[in-house]
């Protein structure tokens, strides 16, 4: 077999009989692995826009070229001459492109894994579905870049500018985004589990449906961000600014929200079970339909004027009525709201509360 790793291939007509993706409509793919008569092809160009990497039989494919070994001087010269697509003929995995001007370059589906792009200018670049796993993008300018569907797992994006970038559906698992500017970025449906986003600017960013489980968002700016339906279970949001953020339907189970600013945030329908909200500012927050079982709530000025529903109101009333206090005024108030308090959704588990005789009335009855 003449095909080897790094070869560019295209599908023969008979490939269409065997395969639905790597068929004759695949005009360019790169071989990333070889195992006997089997080769792994990553699709680069396809007439029907198909993407992906697949193990296939080598006999159905024709070699049309071979990847060139990376040469920084040649690549930068091509870029300066406007030959942006030509750099994909090079093996860019592990390439040193630090400080390079790649503004508006077309690097879609490129393999830039473990590449050094620190300080590079990638503003407006097309990096959709590119492999940037473990790449160094620290301090890079990625403003308004298209990174939709890109693999950025384990990448270093600390202090990078990703403002207004499209990161929808991107894989940012365990990426380092500390101090990064992600204001107004589209991160909808992105995987940010275990990522470091401490002190990052995510103001007005779209994180709807994103996976942020166990992510570090301590001190991050998430004001007016859309986190509806996001998974933030076990996330560290201590001291984060979530003012006016949309957290409706979000999963915040066991999240650390201590000292967070949630003023006027929408937490309707959110799961806040076992969440730590100590010292958080929940002033005018919407908690209607939220699950706050076993959570830690603040008793401070920032915990006033919540918007709640009947379910949470009954829960809070039950907790108030379950306190042991012999003061006559407290007991009058307690007895007056007891019917409502006993509508607590866990009353079957915790037990119904009964009226307690007020000392003055009890004494009068005995006389």
pLDDT of the residue at 77: 87
What CA dihedral angle connects 151, 152, 153 and 154, to 10 degrees?
150
Res. 363: pLDDT tops 60: no
Res. 362: pLDDT tops 70: no
How far apart CA 329 and CA 167 sit, in angstroms, is 57
State the pLDDT confidence band at 348, using cuts at 50, 70 and 90. very high
Res. 286: pLDDT tops 60: yes
3 state DSSP class of 54: strand
| CATH number at 7-66 | 2.30.30
How far apart CA 69 and CA 94 sit, in angstroms, is 11
State the pLDDT confidence band at 313, using cuts at 50, 70 and 90. very high
User: The tokens of 136 are what?
Assistant: 């160094």
State the pLDDT confidence band at 79, using cuts at 50, 70 and 90. confident
Res. 306: pLDDT tops 70: yes
CB 323 within 8 A of CB 299: no
How far apart CA 257 and CA 210 sit, in angstroms, is 18
Res. 82: pLDDT tops 80: no
pLDDT digits (tens, 9 = 90+) for 331-340: 999 999 999 9
State the pLDDT confidence band at 303, using cuts at 50, 70 and 90. confident
Average pLDDT, rounded, for the chain = 94
pLDDT of the residue at 51: 87
pLDDT of the residue at 81: 80
How far apart CA 288 and CA 296 sit, in angstroms, is 17
CB 121 within 8 A of CB 139: no
Once rounded to an integer, what is the mean pLDDT over residues 59-63? Answer: 97
Q: What distances in angstroms separate CA 284 from CA 4, 205, 281, one per listed residue?
A: 63, 22, 9
CB 168 within 8 A of CB 185: no
Write the DSSP symbol of residue 302. G
User: The tokens of 237 are what?
Assistant: 């949001």
Q: What is the DSSP secondary-structure string of 195-235?
A: -B-TT-B-TT-B-TT-B-TT-B-TT-B-TT-B-TT-B-TT-
Query: Is 84 buried (19+), middle (13-18) or exposed (0-12) by CB count in 10 A?
Result: middle
Once rounded to an integer, what is the mean pLDDT over residues 297-301? Answer: 79
Res. 367: pLDDT tops 90: no
CB 301 within 8 A of CB 283: yes
Once rounded to an integer, what is the mean pLDDT over residues 274-284? Answer: 94
pLDDT of the residue at 366: 54
Q: Which residue has the higher pLDDT, 41 or 83?
A: 41
pLDDT of the residue at 298: 80
| CATH number at 68-182 | 2.160.20.80
What CATH class has 207-306? mainly beta
- The pairing of beta strand 7-11 with beta strand 26-35: antiparallel
- Domain boundaries defined on the chain: 7-66, 68-182, 207-306, 315-366
**Is-same-fold flag (68-182; 207-306)?**
yes
Query: Is 98 buried (19+), middle (13-18) or exposed (0-12) by CB count in 10 A?
Result: middle
Percent of the chain with pLDDT over 90: 85
User: The tokens of 214 are what?
Assistant: 């166990």
Res. 361: pLDDT tops 90: no
pLDDT of the residue at 85: 72
Res. 109: pLDDT tops 80: yes
């Amino acid at each position: 077999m003449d095909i080897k790793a790094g070869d560019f291939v295209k599908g023969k007509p008979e490939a269409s009989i065997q395969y639905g993706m790597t068929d004759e409509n695949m005009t360019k793919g790169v071989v990333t692995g070889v195992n006997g008569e089997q080769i792994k092809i990553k699709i680069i160009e396809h007439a029907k826009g198909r993407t992906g990497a697949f193990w296939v039989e080598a006999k159905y494919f024709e070699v049309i070229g071979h990847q060139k070994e990376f040469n920084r001087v040649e690549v930068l010269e091509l870029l300066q001459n406007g030959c942006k697509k030509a750099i994909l003929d090079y093996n860019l995995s592990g390439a040193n492109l630090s400080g390079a001007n790649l503004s508006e370059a077309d690097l879609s589906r490129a393999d830039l894994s473990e590449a050094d792009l620190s300080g590079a200018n990638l503003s407006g670049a097309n990096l959709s579905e590119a492999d940037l796993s473990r790449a160094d993008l620290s301090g890079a300018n990625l403003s308004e870049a298209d990174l939709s569907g890109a693999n950025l797992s384990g990448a270093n994006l600390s202090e990078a500018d990703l403002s207004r970038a499209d990161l929808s559906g991107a894989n940012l698992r365990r990426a380092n985004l500390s101090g990064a500017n992600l204001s107004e970025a589209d991160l909808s449906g992105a995987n940010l589990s275990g990522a470091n986003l401490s002190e990052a600017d995510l103001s007005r960013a779209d994180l709807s449906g994103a996976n942020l489980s166990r992510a570090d968002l301590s001190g991050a700016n998430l004001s007016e961000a859309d986190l509806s339906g996001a998974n933030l279970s076990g996330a560290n949001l201590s001291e984060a600014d979530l003012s006016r953020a949309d957290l409706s339907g979000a999963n915040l189970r066991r999240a650390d929200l201590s000292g967070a600013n949630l003023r006027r945030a929408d937490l309707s329908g959110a799961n806040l079970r076992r969440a730590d909200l100590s010292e958080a500012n929940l002033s005018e927050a919407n908690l209607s339909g939220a699950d706050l079982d076993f959570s830690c709530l603040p008793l401070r000025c920032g915990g006033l004027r919540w918007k709640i529903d009947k379910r949470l109101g009954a829960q809070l009333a039950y907790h108030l009525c379950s306190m042991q206090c012999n003061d006559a005024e407290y007991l009058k108030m307690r007895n007056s709201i007891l019917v409502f308090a006993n509508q607590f959704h866990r009353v079957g588990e915790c037990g119904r509360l009964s009226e307690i005789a007020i000392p003055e009335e009890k004494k009068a009855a005995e006389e």
